[in-house]
Structure 1
C-alpha cells in the first residue's frame, strides 16, 4: 500500500515515515500544502495522512480541493489543535478520521489499517477467498491449514490483489501502490513477485487464485468477504 504523508515538522516526518516503511508501506512525503495537494492529485495513493497547519496551503484547503476534484482515497488528519471545531471542520471538508498530537505510533498505525480495510470494503482484519486466508493485522497467510511464508514484497502483492479481489489490476497499478516515488517502474519485477506468490499459494496448480489477463494485468478471483 502506498501512503502520502504531508507534515511540516521534519522530526515527525522522519519518525512517522520510518515507522510506516518498517510496517511495510511505501511512503511519499511532503512538507508543504501546495506540493502535497499536487502529489495527491497526480499519484494513486491508497491513503493520505496530513497535518492541518501546513505552510502554503492549509490542510483543510488541501482536503477540500482533493474532494472537489474527485480524489477518493481515505484521509487521516493529524492536528495539534484541541478545539473540537477544528476536528469537525476537517471531517466536514472530507477527511475520514483524525488523530490529535501527541499520539502513539501504534494508534496511528491501527487507524490507518482500519481506514484501508474500510476503503476496500473489508470489515474485519481477516480476508478470506476460498481456501486463501489473509490476516491483515498479523500479516500472515494460510491456504487451508497450511501457513504460507511470503517475503515482504510478495506479501504486498498478495495483500493488494486480495483487497481488490474481482478487479483487474495492471502491472503499473501494482507497482505504483507498492513503491514510493523514488522507485523506477519495472513491470518485470512485478511478474516475478506474482509468479512467486502463485507457486507458494498453489504449488500443485489446482486452485489458480490469481488470474492473468493478457495485456491487462492480474485478478484475484471473486470478492473479499
Structure 2
C-alpha cells in the first residue's frame, strides 16, 4: 500500500518511514502542507498520514483543501495533540482517523489498514475477487483455498489490483506504487512481474484473473473470471503535473521522459 507521510520533522519522518517500510508500506514524504496538497493531486495514494503542526499551514487545512478539490484519499491525523477539540476539528474537516503520539506501531498500522479497507468498500481484512483471496494482515494469497507464494513485488501488484478492482491501471501507476520515483527500472519490468504473477495464479487454478486492456494497462475484473483475449498493454501518458514543488516536479519530469509507448 502507498502512503504519503506529511511530517515537517526530518528525524521523526525518517523514523516513521522506517517503521512503515518494515510492515510493508511504500512511503513518500512531504514536509509542508503545500507539498502535501500537490503530491495528493498528482499521485494516487492509499492513505495520507498527517501531522497537524506544519510550517505553512495546519494539517486541518491540508485535509480541507483536498476535500474541496474532490481528492478522496483517506487521511489519518498523527499528532501529539490529544484534546477532544483537536480530534473533533480533524473529523469535521474530513479526516478519517486520529492517532495520538506516542503510539504503538502495530496499532497505527492496523488503523491505517482499516481506514484503507473502508475507503475501498471492504469491511474485513481480506480482499476477495471470485476465487482469489488476499489477507492484508498476514499477506497470504490463495486461489480456491490453495496457497500462492508471491515475491514482494508480485504481492504489491496483486494488492493494488485488488484494491482497485474493476479499474484499469497503467504501467506507470504500478511503477509509482512499487518504487515511488526512486531508482525506477524500465516500464517493461511490469510486464515481467505480471507474467510471473499470472503463471503462479494459474498454477493454483486461477485462470485469466488479470486482464490486459489494449492501449491502457492491466485490470483485475470485479468477478475475477473470464478469458483474457486482449492484446498486450501500452502505456498512457503521465497526467500533467501542474504547480508542484521542485522535488515532485523533477520526479514527474523524469517519468515523462521515460514513458514512451512500448
Q: Count matched residues.
A: 224
Match of 1:178 in 2: 178
Alignment check: 8 A CA contact 2:4 2:29 kept: yes
Following superposition, the deviation at residue 81 of structure 1 comes to: 1.1
In 1, the alpha carbon distance for the partners of 2:88 and 2:68 equals 18
**RMSD of equivalent CA atoms:** 1.8
Deviation track 1:113-169 (CA, whole Å, cap 9, x = no partner) reads: 111111111110112222221111100111123211100000000011112222222
Matched ranges for 1:6-155 at <5 A: 6-155=6-155
Alignment check: 8 A CA contact 1:150 1:197 kept: yes
Alignment check: 8 A CA contact 1:164 1:223 kept: no
The structure 1 segments of at least 4 consecutive aligned residues displaced by more than 6 Å after TM superposition are: none
1:196 pairs with 2:196: yes
Following superposition, the deviation at residue 177 of structure 1 comes to: 2.4
Give the TM-score normalised by structure 1.
0.93
In 1, the alpha carbon distance for the partners of 2:67 and 2:110 equals 24
What's the secondary structure of 1:201's corresponding residue?
helix
> Where do 5+ consecutive residues of structure 2 fail to align?
225-262
Alignment check: 8 A CA contact 1:128 1:134 kept: yes
> Where do 5+ consecutive residues of structure 1 fail to align?
none
In 2, the alpha carbon distance for the partners of 1:10 and 1:173 equals 27
